A and B are shown apart, each in its own frame.
Chain A
Amino acid sequence: MLMTDFIILVLGIAVLFYVLLGGADFGAGIVELLTGKRGIDTISKAIAPVWEANHIWLILAVVILFNGFPLVYTTLTTYLHIPLFIILLGIIFRGTAFTFRYYDTVKDNMYKYYTQLFRISSLLTPFFLGVILGAIMLGKIPSQVDGTFYEIFIAPWLNLFSFTTGIFLTLLFGWLAAIYLLGEARDDESFQTFAKTSRTFFVLLIVSGLSVFLVAEMYELNFFSRFLHSSVAIGCVLVATAIIPFLWAGIRHRNNLLTRFLASVQTACILTGWFAIQFPVMIYLADGTALTIQNSQAPERTMSLLVYALVAGILLIFPAFYYLFKVFKFSQNKQS
């Protein structure tokens, strides 16, 4: 079982990194929606060197799923075909529109279209990612193809709860981006813009977080009581709350490294808290059963080889990733 735990840990880390880094890249597009022209330059320069590497955390998570938990992967791709397809469209449009905008040699009408497309797809993708997270918690996903098209392929994700989690994740990405961009701002005006954006997102995030709990009660998911029964989840909420004043102070004193770190810890708390009440379930199904870590995992031989691949991958990727960020992110102040 140690093998499976390790794989789940890496999966969790991949998801966390994807939310923190990939999320901030998507969030940058959302922030651009609010700040408009003022943000473009900072945002383009900030995400160009890193967005592709950040995107690959998602690939890692997908590969772990279809190699280690094939049934989870195929259940998602079968019953959540439509929102997953929308996410793919978002991934295509965000990546290409951003790159085309960045590299085009002429600034004409195409530049405007690329910008529009970049912003809209940056908003759409996190929303539907959140919808999918909601859908796997809600327990409306069927275990077999039996019923109407609406019941099987629409109802599992087209509902208030999934949409609430979608909004939550979108706001989380936007907030992370605003915090992250504070450290990229080159002048006082854009710093103030991003600081204001981060405050707006923070307030909205708290409101939307509470509504996730309230809507969950409407659907009788018992989030409150499940939360209260998990000491890990309670701990996460306490830590995340305790950090808030330090985060505000970090922004006020423009300690960008501290602010980024604290925001990352808060995000890690949110994910860990969610994980604590979800564990060991991966997908709740409509018939009352669930796909769990245990009942959906691949045979032992596959799992042990996956562990080797992940260990080797981590040994190669983490130092390289650290170096990438050292070159482009940590040495920011020296450069300007």
Chain B
Amino acid sequence: MDDFLAARLQMTVSFVFHIVFACIGMTMPWLMFVAELKWIKTGRKVYQDLSKAWARGVAIFFAVGAVSGTVLSFELGLLWPKFMEHAGAIIGMPFSWEGTAFFLEAIALGIFLYGRNRVNKRIHLISGLVVGIAGVVSGIFVIAANAWMNSPSGFDWVNGQAINIDPIKAMFNNAWFQQALHMTIAAFASTSFAVAGVHAFMLLRHKGNEFHRGAIRIALAFGAVAAILQPISGDISAKNVAKLQPAKLAAMESLFKTSKPAALVIGGIPDEEKEEVKYGIHIPHLLSFLAHGDLNAEVEGLDKTSKENWPPVVIVHFAFQIMVFMGMLMMGAGILFLIFNFKWKENLDKRWWLKLLVWLTPVGFIAVEAGWIVTEVGRQPWIIYGIMKTKDAVTPMPGVQYPFYLITLIYLVLTFLVILLMRRQIFAVHMNSQNINAHD
């Protein structure tokens, strides 16, 4: 295997794996916090059980997320040393802040998980809140660094060297806000729907169980709000990408020729050779409106970019369609949930609704993975957009395929183990408590 391809694939595998845990790490502490809050307010034991059960989940996911995140912080240098040599001084700052946030998160989590009987209730509750806040904040710092790769700023590039470095400008680049917003909401939507789905599955087996009913209500309250807000943030993102990375937007929409007005393409199979989309549904004017807020605006197509600088159109196009479709599914379910909450509450216990939630379990994470493929593959062939190509940043070490194979194998095994472990955790809720290997 080609070393460059192996390096890209290793990075892909590492991201695809880590991002799931990152999302869970940003969101689950909030669910856990709300359960704990409800336990304190209502005194109903079921909420304490829920908080404890979720805390065990958080502990497992956090550990895997922490180590896979450490792997990434080294892989940036192991696989892309030329990138880090220049980028380190420019975007290291958000990482140093992220380090602080992550530190606080780990400390607060230690207190929340193991300190239930050692600190007073108030401090225990606050530590849960700190975990939630620090998780979101550290996510935002990392995304700011990624946004810089899409919208590099805060330096001048002269003869292959970065001069006049301004890390603050680099961190608050033109893409950071929309990316941070979109990803934070995505983390809440995906994790909440996954949690709701798992509990819906258990509720189907244990009809009327208050533990699972409470869990679904808390999770979907977060999930529904996030899923309904996400299209708004998506719109901000689309307009931002249209301005900053027209080639990425063109690839997402398979817009080969600059058009005025431009139609939105839904589905279809793009053909890079013939520069056309087969079988897609075209909605006139809509892309002009979505990209620029004007029904007749011109939208830049791939023809404005020389072909060697095109991102892989097919991958980006499909990933974008998948992301939007999954997002729509979640939004629909979110709206239903809110409607049922105000009226027709009995529907929330109906089998069809619970089955629907079970089917929606992986949908959010599929959307997150697809969205990151749009962001990362859509930036290619650049590692720093318009400044440095990905192939020029790759490590000089030959034989990168071997670490790639190894990492892939390990992450597959870990995925299997985490699923096994969570399965056991979830079923343990209904087992005789003596069999549980509990520590608290």
Contacts and interface: CB of A to CB of B under 8 A. Distances in A.
Contact of A70 (B85, B100, B114, B403): B85
B106 interface: yes
B356 interface: no
Interface string B28-64: 0000000000000000000000000000100110111
Q: Is the interface of B mostly helix, strand, loop or mixed?
A: helix
A153 interface: yes
Contacts of A58: 70
A327 B119 contact: yes
B410 interface: yes
A217 B89 CA distance: 37
Interface in B372-414: 395-399, 403, 406, 410, 414
A302 B90 contact: yes
A306 B92 contact: yes
A49 B113 contact: yes
Interface in A313-336: 313, 316-317, 320-321, 323-324, 327-328, 331, 335
Interface in A31-51: 45, 48-50
Interface string A283-314: 00000000000000011011001100110110
A90 to B, nearest CB: 10
User: Chain B, interface size: which category?
Assistant: 35 or more
B234 interface: no
A21 to B, nearest CB: 12
Interface stretch (A80-88, A168-176, A206-214, A220-228): A80-88
Interface stretch (B76-84, B292-300, B330-338): B76-84
A147 to B, nearest CB: 11
B165 A105 contact: no
B63 A77 contact: no
Contacts of A63: 73, 92, 95-96, 98-99
A104 B424 contact: yes
Given A78-B396, A89-B410, A67 B67 contact: no
A269 interface: no
Contacts of A45: 439
Contact of B114 (A48, A62, A95, A302): A48
Contacts of A95: 63-64, 66-67
Contact of A77 (B84, B87, B111, B118): B84
Nearest to A48: B114
A316 B101 CA distance: 9
A88 B71 contact: yes
B339 interface: no
Q: Is the interface of A mostly helix, strand, loop or mixed?
A: helix
A68 interface: yes
A9 interface: no
Given A92-B410, A305-B168, A53 B395 contact: no
Contacts of A105: 424-425, 427-428, 431, 435-437
A104 B85 contact: no
Contact of B95 (A55, A67, A89): A67
A88 B77 CA distance: 13
A25 B104 CA distance: 19
Given A59-B99, A78-B395, A327-B119, A316 B104 contact: yes
Nearest to A78: B81
Contact of A92 (B68, B106, B435, B436): B68
A241 to B, nearest CB: 35
B281 interface: no
Contact of B74 (A84, A96, A312): A84
Given A77-B78, A145-B396, A99 B60 contact: yes
A305 B167 contact: yes
A301 B63 contact: no
Nearest to A58: B70
User: Chain A, interface size: which category?
Assistant: 35 or more
A122 B81 CA distance: 28
A279 interface: no
Given A52-B62, A55-B70, A74 B84 contact: yes
Contacts of B119: 327
Contact of A103 (B56, B66, B70): B56
Nearest to B89: A298
B71 to A, nearest CB: 5
Nearest to B75: A88
B115 interface: yes
B437 A104 contact: yes
A102 B114 CA distance: 12
A107 interface: yes
A303 to B, nearest CB: 9
Contact of B67 (A91, A102, A107): A91
Contacts of B421: 100, 103-104
A203 interface: no
B114 A49 contact: yes
A89 B14 CA distance: 13
Contacts of A48: 114, 439
Contact of B93 (A88, A91, A103, A305): A305
Contacts of B140: none
Nearest to A145: B396
Contacts of B68: 92
A317 B437 contact: no
Q: Tell me which of B84, B85, B107, B115 has the highest count of chain A C-beta atoms within 10 A of its own C-beta.
A: B107
Q: Tell me which of B77, B417, B439 has the highest count of chain A C-beta atoms within 10 A of its own C-beta.
A: B77
- Closest 7 pairs between A and B when the two form their complex, measured CB to CB: A67-B92, A77-B77, A70-B88, A298-B89, A99-B63, A313-B100, A49-B114
Given A74-B77, A298-B89, A312-B100, 20 more contacts: A45-B439, A53-B106, A58-B70, A64-B96, A66-B77, A66-B92, A70-B86, A70-B87, A70-B92, A84-B74, A84-B78, A85-B403, A91-B70, A92-B410, A92-B414, A105-B424, A105-B428, A152-B397, A324-B111, A335-B118
14 contacts: A52-B62, A60-B103, A64-B96, A73-B84, A74-B85, A88-B74, A95-B64, A103-B56, A152-B397, A313-B100, A316-B100, A317-B104, A317-B107, A324-B110
Interface of B: 56, 59-60, 62-64, 66-68, 70-71, 73-78, 81-82, 84-90, 92-93, 95-100, 102-104, 106-111, 113-115, 118-119, 165-168, 395-399, 403, 406, 410, 414, 417, 420-421, 424-425, 427-428, 431, 435-437, 439
Interface of A: 45, 48-50, 52-53, 55-56, 58-60, 62-64, 66-68, 70-71, 73-74, 76-78, 81, 84-85, 87-89, 91-92, 95-96, 98-100, 102-107, 110, 145, 149, 152-153, 298-299, 301-302, 305-306, 309-310, 312-313, 316-317, 320-321, 323-324, 327-328, 331, 335
